[in-house]
Amino acid sequence: MNLNPSLVLAEALGECALGTDGGLLFRRRKRLANVFCFEKLCKEANEIDTPKSPVNLEDPVVLRNLSEPDAGKILYDAFKSAINALTVQETGTTRIEDRIRLKEMRPFRTDYRPYLDTTKSIFNKTVGEPHSGGFELRFAAILEEAPDVQAFAKNYLAIGFKLDYVKANSDLANYTPDFIVRTGDRMVWLVETKGRAELDLPQKTSRLKQWCEDATAAEEDGQRYDFVFVDQNGFEKHAPKSFAVLAASFTEYKSP
């Protein structure tokens, strides 16, 4: 199929139609600054089988086929993934521009939920998430008792520490790790606790690993960062007595 090289895709998602030259055109009210060669996108989104002959948009059969939900879903997903792969890229260098200092946090309110009184946290109460089934509080109790934990904090939304990442469906989103833990070996740990399977978990932990590596490289005083993923089933069966044991035994998503 001969494609007009000047044909471009001006929007990632929108209303689609088959062009008379066999190409796919997209229309949308909002314009994107970036445009991409349609032929290149077709190579990226190889799930799409473009027509090999001109298509008559007045043909009722064509119009009916284009209106089918499964056809629209295929086009949507394929072009969304292809365009995000071309546009969402990590560039530049890593540097520390600012820090979040928990000791400077102003008091904030939470909903009334079960909590744990703590002495190692800057917050006098650690409040669990509403759908965690008490798992976060049981984990916080281990941190409170662990001899090698100097301090920890539940990473509440009010703290403002979150990471952007690309979800499994290629959407951009923000991710908030569950706990921040400091141990006596100049290590700061970001901990993700999870009680159920989650589609975006590999993407979240990959971003978490990248952040820890970048933050460690950017520090000038020897401060190091790492992460650990703690699944509820493993935690309930093998609750550790120290954070070092926890970090050594819960190693899922740590390998490259």
Q: Look at residue 136 in the predicted model and tell me its pLDDT.
A: 92
Q: Look at residue 48 in the predicted model and tell me its pLDDT.
A: 44
User: What would the CATH number be for the domain defined by 102-249?
Assistant: 3.40.1350
Q: Look at residue 94 in the predicted model and tell me its pLDDT.
A: 65
Q: How far apart are CA 202 and CA 224, in angstroms?
A: 22
Model-level pTM? 0.66
Residue range 110-145, pLDDT digits in tens: 888 889 999 999 888 899 888 777 899 999 999 999
Q: Look at residue 138 in the predicted model and tell me its pLDDT.
A: 93
Per-residue pLDDT for 205 more than 50?
A: yes
CATH 3.40.1350 residue ranges for the chain: 102-249
31 or 108, greater pLDDT: 108
Per-residue pLDDT for 23 more than 50?
A: no
49 or 158, greater pLDDT: 158
Per-residue pLDDT for 93 more than 50?
A: yes
> How many C-beta atoms surround the C-beta of residue 13 within 10 A?
15
Which of 91-100, 175-184, 214-223 is most confident? 175-184
Arithmetic mean of pLDDT, 187-195: 91
Per-residue pLDDT for 14 more than 50?
A: no
62 or 190, greater pLDDT: 190
120 or 79, greater pLDDT: 120
Structure token pair of residue 5: 């090289």
Percent of residues, the chain, with pLDDT higher than 70: 71
Arithmetic mean of pLDDT, 156-167: 89
Q: Look at residue 30 in the predicted model and tell me its pLDDT.
A: 32
